[in-house]
Amino acid sequence: MIYSDATASSHDEAELMEIELELGAHNYKPIDVVLSKGEGVWVWDSDGKRYLDCLSAYSAVNQGHCHPKIREALIEQSGKLTLTSRAFRNDQLALFYQEICALTNTSKVLPINSGAEAVESAIKAVRKWGYEVKGVPDGQAEIIVCRNNFHGRTLSIVSFSTDPTARRNFGPFVPGFKVIPFGDAEALDAAITPNTVGFLVEPIQGEAGVIIPPDGYLRAVREICSRHNVMLILDEIQTGLGRTGKLLAEEHEGIEADLTLVGKALSGGFYPISAVLSNSEVLGVLRPGEHGSTFGGNPLACAVARTAVRVLIEEGMIENAERMGAYFVERLKDIRNNLIREVRGRGLMVAVEFEPEAGGARAYCEALKNEGVLCKDTHVNTIRFAPPLVINRDDIDWAFERIAPILARSSPTT
């Protein structure tokens, strides 16, 4: 193998994109900008142009890019101890458990690395609970999910996806899942059988285009799951940790899930870490050797996560998300364009959906990129705006000097 001693700065953007296209798998279609620096809500490309980040790495950098306190924790811990595996104990794991449990009213935690791994772990644990506690016949456990869900891209997860792109030519698929409409509590009640062990749902469907269920939906599914002895699993990997203006989106309806999945912003974008937050009844079924990960619960991840969560609370980011999200939506609703079907959002999880006649949202995103605002299209006709939770009113006003003229156009190229 030939190694290059050239730095990124010795290549222009076109060269770097060409190398990506030649050598990388084409499983993403990014907006054509090559980023090299980030601070707070801002990122810079390799030519030094500044952009307002309105995606936050799909909500992984809620705390803003390169938050100094999280970076300090990363550097300090990396000089002490990074990895032991769970074959041995480390001095950060217990403290992470203690702090995340106190904050979220949780009694048991399973630390893991990625959002998809958290979902897979929850599926395994709930199935095992179904067999050993609920008494479901072996191999018959069912988990109910929602249409247009997004919980990751592992084989088990795409087995219950309704997105043709996620499923095409990846079968055979994992059985044991039943799909119902999102936001329909009666459909959940009707779908439950004696073999149903869990209901896995996003409080707000993010990848589907920030789809917010009807008021009272989460309260209704909480009651239904309790009545049928079914575990309610809330995937808060995107909605959690302040994104919607609450620590967890479940708080908007005053409920508690049986299992809550968190990730992404759990490290503030510095390091992969996720967790299943649950109780002894469910996570207590896991015994030594039945589930694990070399990196899960490592001291570096735990030290970073402890600080990432602390700054969310201490620096008022969650309350800021609620205030700035309301202002962001208000500004978007002032834009006049008959091709805008709907503006919707909760906290700083915001979407603009266009009519199909607009020709898709990606061209609008590309036009916004040229003006210094980075956002991302989803499900063809929708733009998602999800800036870091440290955004302020002046930042939003700066963005709207660029957003408003573009979104008001009948075509982004005119």
State whether 286 and 397 are in the same domain: no
Residue 43 inside a domain? The answer is yes
Residue 97 inside a domain? The answer is yes
State whether 172 and 256 are in the same domain: yes
State whether 125 and 184 are in the same domain: yes
Residue 413 inside a domain? The answer is no
Residue 383 inside a domain? The answer is yes
CATH of the domain at 53: 3.90.1150.10
State whether 262 and 336 are in the same domain: no
Residue 167 inside a domain? The answer is yes
State whether 118 and 265 are in the same domain: yes
Positions marked active-site: 150, 235, 264
Radius of gyration from C-alpha coordinates of the chain: 22
State whether 121 and 41 are in the same domain: no
State whether 13 and 102 are in the same domain: no
Alpha helices in 241-298 (DSSP H): 280-283
Boundary residue ending a domain (314, 329, 356): 314
State whether 36 and 113 are in the same domain: no
Residue 412 inside a domain? The answer is no
55 Cβ partners below 8 Å, 6+ apart?
Answer: 374, 375, 376, 384, 386, 387
State whether 177 and 302 are in the same domain: yes
What's the structural domain count of the chain?
2
State whether 326 and 307 are in the same domain: no
Residue 134 inside a domain? The answer is yes
382-385/376-378 β-pairing: antiparallel
User: Which pTM does this prediction carry?
Assistant: 0.96
Tokens of 91: 């001095």
- Name the residue among 288, 279, 219 with its Cα closest to residue 249: 219
Boundary residue ending a domain (297, 314, 331): 314
DSSP E strands in 230-379: the ranges are 231-235, 259-262, 274-278, 340-346, 349-354, 373-374, 376-378
CATH of the domain at 262: 3.40.640.10
State whether 76 and 140 are in the same domain: yes
- Name the residue among 376, 377, 368 with its Cα closest to residue 404: 368
pLDDT value at position 329?
98
State whether 330 and 288 are in the same domain: no
Tell me the pLDDT of the chain (414 aa) as tens digits.
444 555 556 688 999 999 999 999 999 999 999 999 999 999 999 999 999 999 999 999 999 999 999 999 999 999 999 999 999 999 999 999 999 999 999 999 999 999 999 999 999 999 999 999 999 999 999 999 999 999 999 999 999 999 999 999 999 999 999 999 999 999 999 999 999 999 999 999 999 999 999 999 999 999 999 999 999 999 999 999 999 999 999 999 999 999 999 999 999 999 999 999 999 999 999 999 999 999 999 999 999 999 999 999 999 999 999 999 999 999 999 999 999 999 999 999 999 999 999 999 999 999 999 999 999 999 999 999 999 999 999 999 999 999 999 999 877 765
Is 255:102 a contact under the CB 8 Å cutoff? Answer: no
* Structural domain span for residue 17: 8-63+318-407
Residue 414 inside a domain? The answer is no
Boundary residue ending a domain (253, 280, 314): 314
For residue 50, what is the DSSP state? E
